């Protein structure tokens, strides 16, 4: 009996299945929003606001101390529309779905899946905590253990949702250096057979060829904060850079003398490197835009962000630093100027969010189909036309999505 002709809905469902199986980084981030985030007929540029819970200082004692409930939100813009355009014949539609998938869907979806992961991994520019040395691939467990400590200090849950996503070279080094570490004999065998880490050091490990590469700004000079005492917020005034030069790149990580990281719940100084002292660790801040110094003394205003995307806050429920920079605090930059470095990520799934929405189904075409899965948080649209001259079906596949960083404190960059 002849094969039943494939329908557009069958092809669309198969495309969504293949897409889910091809994703790496995207599989392990937050995607399960309520129905308002999967609105039908969305257009590119639609902005969704994701509410975040309020935080409180709390009290000690019996006296009532009412605190304002300040809700914050993070914008997620549906600003990326990816797709692939293919054509097949009437004869192709008589194939089995498996054969059709192998010939047409898998190659097309591989391109889309890599693009989605590539866009998602660009979120590293919002992450302020970093371990390792830019330009030096990590070859010991210490780097990855330090990433876990940073997540602990930033209150990341230990609920089985922590992942590491690294480049192929970083994975090769990790498998070689960490083989057998705290693993059963069966897992050691799996490492050798697959060349992948699997589960180790408190993380699920994954390799992704789409890991992004950062270049540290050229820096130069002897930068310090200006004489203004007590700078807080997201713009820090500095001077002493090499004049008239782009000294910092978006995504660089900086520190200031005397400004230490604090735990977001107890607001005590985070202390990993200096146990038994009162100093703790200098707080990291990510640079949110390229910085060019002025002429003369090399003045520059550095835009920064830390936990929850905030600048320096020294009191209240969102406190993220022990103090503000004092006059002439030294400005440190992580990494040597001009160094390029793949940026692996260690993160909890709540660090990042990917949103997707239903694209509208047009009229006046041969066929159009859309399939979404609330559990996967994804929606695909397929539109098919017919070319009578060639007996072919030109077809376009589209997905509309966007990325955002929900909680930057729940991720750590791994420099290589």
pLDDT at 355: 87
- Average pLDDT, integer, range 159-187: 78
pLDDT at 9: 87
Express as a percent the part of the chain with pLDDT over 70: 85
Stretch among 57-66, 320-329, 402-411 having the lowest mean pLDDT: 57-66
Stretch among 96-105, 156-165, 193-202, 227-236 having the lowest mean pLDDT: 193-202
Band the pLDDT of 167: cuts 50, 70, 90: very high
pLDDT at 193: 45
| Separation CA 240–CA 299 (nearest Å) | 6
What digits encode the pLDDT tens for the residues 255-285?
999 999 987 777 777 654 544 444 468 999 9
pLDDT at 140: 87
pTM for this model (two decimals) = 0.86
List strand residue ranges (DSSP E) for 101-241, in order. Answer: 130-131, 162-166, 199-200, 203-207, 213-215, 221-225, 235-241
What digits encode the pLDDT tens for the residues 361-405?
888 888 898 988 777 778 899 999 988 888 888 999 999 999 999
- Cβ-count burial 172-207 (b if 16+ within 10 Å, e if not): ebbbeebeeeebeeebeebbeeeeebeebbbbebbb
Would the pLDDT of 305 be above 70? yes
Would the pLDDT of 3 be above 60? no
Helix, strand, coil distribution of the chain in percent, nearest 5: 25, 30, 45
pLDDT at 179: 65
CA angle 141, 144, 150 (to 5 degrees): 135
pLDDT at 192: 45
| Domain boundaries along the sequence of the chain | 8-123+353-414
List strand residue ranges (DSSP E) for 5-44, in order. Answer: none
What digits encode the pLDDT tens for the residues 194-222?
445 577 788 999 999 999 999 999 999 99
């Amino acid at each position: 009996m002849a094969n039943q002709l494939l329908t557009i809905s069958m092809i669309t469902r198969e495309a969504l299945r293949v897409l889910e199986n091809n994703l790496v980084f995207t599989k392990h981030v937050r995607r399960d929003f309520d129905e308002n985030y999967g609105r039908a007929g969305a257009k590119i540029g639609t902005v969704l606001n994701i509410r975040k819970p309020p935080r409180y200082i709390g009290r000690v004692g019996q006296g009532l101390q009412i605190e304002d409930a300040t809700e914050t939100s993070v914008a997620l813009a549906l600003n990326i529309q990816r797709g692939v355009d293919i054509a097949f014949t009437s004869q192709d539609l008589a194939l089995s779905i498996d054969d059709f998938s192998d010939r047409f869907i898998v190659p097309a979806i591989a391109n889309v899946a890599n693009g989605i992961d590539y866009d998602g991994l660009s979120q590293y520019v919002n992450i302020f905590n970093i371990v390792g040395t830019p330009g030096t691939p990590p070859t010991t467990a210490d780097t990855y253990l330090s990433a876990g400590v940073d997540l602990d200090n930033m209150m990341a849950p230990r609920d089985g949702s922590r992942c590491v996503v690294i480049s192929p070279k970083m994975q090769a080094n990790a498998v070689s250096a960490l083989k057998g570490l705290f693993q059963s004999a069966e897992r050691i065998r799996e490492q050798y057979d697959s060349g992948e880490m699997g589960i180790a050091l408190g993380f699920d490990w994954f390799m992704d060829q789409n890991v992004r590469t950062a270049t540290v700004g050229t820096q130069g000079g002897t930068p310090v904060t200006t004489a203004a005492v007590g700078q807080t917020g997201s713009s820090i005034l500095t001077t002493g850079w090499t004049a008239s030069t782009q000294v910092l790149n978006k995504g660089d990580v900086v520190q200031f003398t005397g400004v230490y990281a604090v735990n977001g719940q107890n607001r005590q100084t985070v202390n990993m490197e200096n146990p038994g002292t009162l100093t703790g660790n200098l707080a990291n801040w990510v640079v949110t835009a390229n910085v060019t110094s002025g002429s003369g003394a090399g003045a520059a205003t550095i835009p920064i962000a830390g936990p929850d995307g905030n600048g320096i806050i020294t009191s209240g429920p969102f406190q993220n630093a022990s103090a503000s920079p004092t006059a002439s605090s030294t400005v440190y930059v992580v990494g040597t100027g001009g160094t390029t470095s793949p940026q692996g990520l260690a993160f909890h799934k709540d660090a990042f969010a990917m949103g997707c929405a239903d694209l509208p189904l047009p009229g006046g075409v041969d066929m159009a189909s859309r399939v979404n899965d609330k559990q996967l948080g994804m929606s695909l649209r397929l539109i098919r036309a017919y070319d009578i001259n060639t007996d072919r079906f030109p077809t376009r596949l589209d997905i509309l999505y966007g990325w955002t960083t929900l909680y930057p404190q729940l991720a750590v960059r791994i420099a290589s």
